[in-house]
């Protein structure tokens, strides 16, 4: 039976192994920030998705956003600072959260015809300035939450569109597939959030697969960190190599799959494998990835055959089947998807 505590655990952006490394290698202040974040993350319990929310958007294609400030406390949702249609607040984190939630909504509506997280116009809630130097962001079952970072290694977690989109995508994934947050199913959960996060960024910028950076968390690191982002979908394992953070541990092929009980069975580590498969297929096809592969991955998310404990091979097979249904057996898309999974060591 699926583990319900894993199924409903908060979806956090920052992997625990990075925070644990900082807690052992950083300065006194950095160790303190990392340890407090780890404690918060371990003890925070997700709120049920049915918790009381503001009214939904009655108009498909129109988002309803509410941005709150926790005022550096650990309370949710906090003090309402900006609502749908209001102008800039002057608070950078507030205005980034508002803008990026809007961009994510537009992607899901304009590309996938999905009306918010639940496809019924659910209000989009974001809380910024959560905690004291909190080094993470998460989806808690009801809303998105963003810390300010420590200012030495990490900037604010609203700085990158794909971080905000990643957390909102977790809400969509939770509503549709409820993938257990452990082992390969959990890594698929994280990979899907990365895929949609990257596609939102590409759509917002109008980028082709060749023009995209395929980075997740671009701008999160300060200039004191030797690294480009938290993850690279193009080259898993290459995003950072830093004296304090260590080296990006993501594998890019099943030959290097990491067996571990840490990080919920390696959900943030092994997500590099399906991430690279998506990247390879997108590059083989070229053009705008959201126009072909984005639709296929979304079809697969909605596929009733995708179970709570689905593994990589099951997911790969479903993506190929959905590609065949949408584009046909002899299409470039079907060849690209099949070859991409084989190139990372998975037979769909």
Helix (H) or strand (E) holding 83: strand 79-83
Q: Which of 96, 167, 180, 204 is catalytic?
A: 167
Q: Which of 36, 115, 170, 268 is catalytic?
A: 268
> Has 291 been annotated as catalytic?
no
* CA 137 remoteness from chain centre: 10
List, in order, residues 6 or more apart from 3 with CB less than 8 Å away: 180, 182
- Look at residue 335 and give its three-state secondary structure: helix
> Has 268 been annotated as catalytic?
yes
The CA–CA distances, whole Å, from 304 to 176, 178, 197 equal 9, 11, 23
Tokens of 80: 């309402």
Tokens of 233: 């979908």
271 contacts 191 by C-beta, under 8 angstroms: yes
Interior/surface letters 21-59, b for 16+ CB within 10 angstroms, e for the rest: bbbeebeeebebbbbbbbebbeebebeebeeebbeebee
| Residues classed as catalytic | 167, 268
């Amino acid at each position: 039976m699926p583990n319900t505590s894993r199924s409903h655990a908060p979806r956090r952006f920052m992997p625990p192994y990075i925070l644990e490394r900082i807690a052992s290698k950083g300065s006194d202040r950095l160790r303190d920030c990392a340890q407090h974040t780890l404690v918060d993350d371990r003890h925070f319990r997700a709120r049920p998705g049915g918790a009381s929310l503001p009214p939904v958007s009655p108009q498909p294609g129109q988002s309803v956003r509410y941005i709150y400030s926790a005022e550096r406390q650990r309370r949710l949702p906090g003090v309402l600072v900006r609502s749908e249609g209001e102008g800039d607040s002057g608070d950078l984190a507030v205005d980034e959260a508002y803008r990026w939630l809007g961009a994510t909504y537009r992607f899901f509506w304009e590309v996938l015809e999905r009306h918010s997280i639940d496809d019924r116009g659910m209000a989009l809630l974001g809380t910024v300035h959560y905690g004291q130097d909190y080094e993470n962001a998460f989806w808690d079952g009801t809303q998105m939450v963003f810390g300010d970072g420590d200012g030495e290694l990490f900037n604010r977690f609203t700085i990158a569109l794909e971080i905000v989109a990643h957390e909102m995508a977790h809400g969509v994934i939770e509503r549709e597939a409820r993938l257990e947050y452990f082992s390969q199913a959990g890594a698929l959960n994280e990979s899907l959030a990365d895929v949609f996060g990257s596609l939102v960024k590409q759509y917002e910028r109008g980028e082709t697969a060749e023009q995209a950076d395929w980075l997740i968390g671009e701008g999160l690191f300060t200039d004191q960190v030797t690294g480009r982002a938290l993850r690279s979908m193009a080259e898993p394992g290459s995003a950072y190599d830093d004296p304090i953070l260590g080296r990006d541990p993501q594998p890019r092929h099943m030959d290097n799959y990491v067996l571990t009980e840490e990080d919920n069975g390696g959900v943030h580590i092994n997500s590099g494998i399906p991430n690279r498969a998506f990247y390879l297929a997108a590059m083989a096809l070229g053009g705008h990835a959201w126009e072909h592969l984005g639709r296929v991955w979304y079809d697969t998310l909605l596929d009733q055959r995708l179970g709570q404990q689905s593994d990589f091979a099951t997911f790969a097979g479903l993506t190929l089947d959905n590609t065949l249904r949408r584009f046909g057996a002899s299409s470039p898309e079907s060849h690209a998807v099949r070859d991409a999974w084989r190139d990372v060591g998975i037979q769909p």
